[in-house]
């Protein structure tokens, strides 16, 4: 009988990805991480599995049914959320990824992502508080002044404060050039340049609660020019620290800031993490230090706000991708368990002649096997993609060569929109298949696959919609880069294809992979020849869909090479037991499925993008 942590995540998958595929042992020999060992990593993952199962999973259902609500005392959430977050912080997990110089454990990024995967599978909404807090504190350790780090980042690293990011506004949505929140300079003090902020922020996850001693908001706002007007576009945007409680000396935070909840948003998923409209600077009921206006401290230089905030946004985007992968993964594990237990029907061809025979588990039916294999290919591919990106972040941080660090940074920038969007789309597809496998029970609330689907549906919108990620990938990361990062990626793809020569069964996949990337390069070349970028980008989303599938196909082949090598070595040495044989066969079969059933999808998509069709872009609005 599987344990709760087995349902969340098959530990063998993590061990394969970390140690066999991504060669974590080699990374742990590098100076930033040499204090840790394989045993350290195993202990951290064991602890995370236990805490996630004990503290996060049990209230997954309750926090969905009993949504946050606004009371006279403030925002109420189910109390188990606070208990879970304290257990997370007490275990040192809020500090795991940070350098020792700021009180961190200095674990590799890839280990921290693997650790977070347990929590995201167990309870994505509660984990969202921690994910945002870690990203908030990391931004401050990079761009904040020492006093800002000590006052606002370190308490988050310790788990005493929680953090948010406040970007969107009711009238602006994702168009951050159009925000209207104002920041009026007040004075310089020990925490930097102090401003008063006035405006509204929408869709703020974790925006208000009583789960922590304080909430540190990172807010985008514009500093008016000398004539009092806001600078048009993104150049006028700056980043500010706006805490719920302001420091009043001697380590105390006793002054309530002028940040109040204007209302709560009631969502189809992620219901456990409160989502707020925040009003800044209304002067009611709070007037910090006797004046209206939310007190905020400038981070970095004026006008650099969007560039600074992208540090947090990119981390959050990869975090969203990990969450989407794990929601899909948990749905897959649930569906697999159900399919093994649920008896219904008989093998094809026997319905009339052997009706008296016992029914078989539905996993014996070919169509159910197809759906399970598709889920496996999607969710394990998505997890591999996110962990590969985390490994790139570790290369960027710890490689000896400046050239190697720069290459890792280029690849991470290129793959970030893919790591956000592909799991969000295909993790959801896996959740859809999980419901289908459950049949009528799948859309009933007695089983959590319907909640997993609702939660995951938000991820294609969180931190920039799929369409925004597509524009980022094709526009900023490929066309404006003139294909430099793309060339680097293709070199790695070619290396994988060459390595596939070790196994005759993998060679056809290598050929198909190279052909796919040749087609992608040809489409990119045609788009680069178009002078008008708005024309070149009009079919960016189908390009992202094809590009993402090609990336995941590459990662599946790369894993299959490792699996095939391990399988052959084990078979020769007589060291493979039945469980290990099944594990490696599962990886190889998932790779085969992806190349036979999924990679062929990209050819018509690329043909459509390469034709530069205006069928949608030129559609008259009145013709819909």
Total residue count of the chain as it appears in this document: 624
pLDDT of residue 529: 96
pLDDT of residue 2: 55
Alpha carbon distance 365, 344 (integer Å) = 9
Kindly state the DSSP code that residue 278 receives in the 8-state scheme.
E
Spatial neighbors of 26 by CB under 8 A, at least 6 apart, are: none
For residue 126, which of 273, 319, 239, 15 has the smallest C-alpha distance?
273
pLDDT in tens, 33-70: 999 999 999 999 999 999 999 999 999 999 999 999 99
Angle between helices 124-143 and 305-341 in degrees, nearest 10:
150
Tokens of 347: 């093998």
pLDDT of residue 530: 96
- Look up the pTM and report it: 0.96
Domain ranges within the chain, ordered by starting residue: 4-157, 163-303, 482-624
Alpha carbon distance 199, 420 (integer Å) = 29
- Beta-bridge partner residues of 200: 279
- Beta-bridge partner residues of 256: 245
Tokens of 361: 């588990």
Identify whether the C-beta of residue 261 lies closer than 8 Å to the C-beta of residue 276. Answer: yes
- Beta-bridge partner residues of 124: none
Residues of the chain short of pLDDT 50, as ranges, are 351
CATH T-level topology, domain 4-157: Butyryl-Coa Dehydrogenase, subunit A; domain 1 (1.10.540)
Kindly state the DSSP code that residue 343 receives in the 8-state scheme.
B
Tokens of 524: 């990119």
Identify whether the C-beta of residue 524 lies closer than 8 Å to the C-beta of residue 475. Answer: no
Phi-psi region of 311 (alpha: psi -120 to 50; beta: other; left: phi over 0): alpha
For residue 371, which of 597, 599, 546 has the smallest C-alpha distance?
597
For residue 478, which of 404, 411, 395 has the smallest C-alpha distance?
411
What does the buried/exposed string (b/e) look like for 140-177 if buried means 16 or more CB atoms within 10 Å of the residue's CB?
bbebbbeebbebbbbbbbebebbbbbbbbbeebeeebe
Alpha carbon distance 225, 401 (integer Å) = 43
Q: How far is CA 160 from CA 197, 213, 231, 363, in A?
A: 25, 6, 37, 47
Neighbours of 319 (CB within 10 A): 25
Please give the class, per CATH, of domain 163-303. Answer: mainly beta
pLDDT of residue 488: 97
């Amino acid at each position: 009988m599987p344990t709760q942590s087995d349902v969340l995540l098959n530990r063998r998958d993590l061990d394969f990805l970390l140690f066999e595929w991504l060669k974590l042992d080699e990374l742990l020999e590098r100076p930033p991480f040499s204090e840790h060992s394989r045993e350290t990593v195993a202990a951290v993952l064991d602890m995370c599995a236990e805490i996630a199962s004990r503290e996060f999973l049990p209230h997954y259902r309750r926090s969905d049914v009993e949504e946050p609500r606004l009371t006279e005392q403030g925002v109420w959430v189910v109390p188990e959320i606070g208990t879970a977050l304290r257990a997370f912080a007490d275990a040192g997990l809020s500090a795991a990824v940070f350098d020792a110089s700021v009180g961190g454990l200095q674990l590799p990024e890839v280990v921290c992502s693997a650790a977070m995967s347990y929590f995201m599978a167990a309870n994505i909404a509660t984990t969202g508080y921690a994910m945002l807090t870690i990203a908030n504190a990391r931004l401050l350790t990079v761009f904040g002044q020492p006093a800002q780090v000590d006052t606002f980042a370190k308490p988050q690293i310790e788990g005493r404060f929680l953090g948010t990011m406040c970007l969107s506004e009711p009238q602006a949505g994702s168009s951050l050039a159009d925000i209207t929140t104002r920041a009026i300079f007040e004075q310089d003090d020990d925490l930097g340049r102090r401003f008063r902020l006035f405006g509204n922020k929408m869709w703020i996850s974790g925006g208000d609660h009583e789960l922590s001693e304080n909430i540190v908001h990172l807010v985008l706002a514009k500093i008016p020019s000398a004539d009092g007007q806001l600078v048009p576009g993104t150049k006028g945007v700056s980043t500010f620290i706006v805490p719920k409680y302001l420091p009043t000396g001697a380590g105390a935070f006793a002054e309530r800031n002028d940040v109040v909840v204007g209302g709560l948003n009631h969502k189809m998923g992620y219901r456990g993490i409160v989502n707020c409209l925040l009003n800044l600077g209304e002067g009611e009921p709070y007037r910090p230090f006797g004046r209206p206006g939310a007190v905020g401290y400038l981070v970095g230089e004026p006008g650099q706000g969007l560039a600074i905030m992208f540090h947090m946004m990119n981390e959050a985007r990869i975090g969203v991708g990990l969450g989407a992968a794990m929601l899909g993964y948990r749905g897959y594990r649930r569906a697999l368990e159900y399919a093994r237990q649920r008896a219904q029907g008989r093998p094809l061809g026997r319905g009339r002649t052997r009706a008296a025979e016992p029914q078989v588990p539905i996993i014996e039916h070919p169509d159910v096997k197809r759906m399970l294999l598709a889920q496996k290919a999607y969710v394990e591919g998505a997890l591999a993609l996110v962990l590969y990106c985390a490994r790139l972040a570790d290369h960027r941080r710890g490689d000896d060569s400046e050239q190697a660090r720069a290459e890792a940074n280029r690849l991470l920038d290129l793959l970030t929109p893919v790591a956000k969007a592909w799991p969000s789309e295909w993790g959801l597809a896996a959740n859809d298949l999980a419901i289908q496998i459950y049949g009528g029970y799948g859309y009933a609330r007695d089983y959590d696959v319907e909640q997993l689907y609702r939660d995951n549906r938000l991820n294609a919108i969180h931190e920039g919609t799929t369409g925004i990620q597509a524009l980022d990938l094709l526009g900023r990361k490929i066309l404006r880069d003139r294909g430099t990062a793309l060339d680097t990626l293709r070199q790695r793809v070619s290396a994988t294809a060459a390595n596939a020569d070790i196994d005759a069964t993998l060679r056809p996949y290598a050929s198909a992979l190279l052909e796919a990337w040749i087609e992608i390069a040809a489409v990119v070349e045609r788009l680069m020849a178009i002078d008008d970028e708005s024309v070149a980008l009009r079919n960016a989303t189908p390009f992202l869909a094809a590009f993402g599938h090609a990336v995941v196909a590459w990662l599946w082949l790369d894993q299959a090479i490792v699996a095939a090598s391990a399988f052959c070595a084990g078979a020769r040495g007589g060291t493979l037991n039945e469980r290990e044989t099944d594990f490696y066969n599962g990886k190889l079969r998932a790779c085969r499925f992806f190349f036979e059933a999924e990679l062929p999808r990209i050819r018509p998509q690329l043909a459509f993008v390469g034709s530069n069709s205006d069928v949608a872009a030129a559609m008259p609005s009145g013709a819909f």
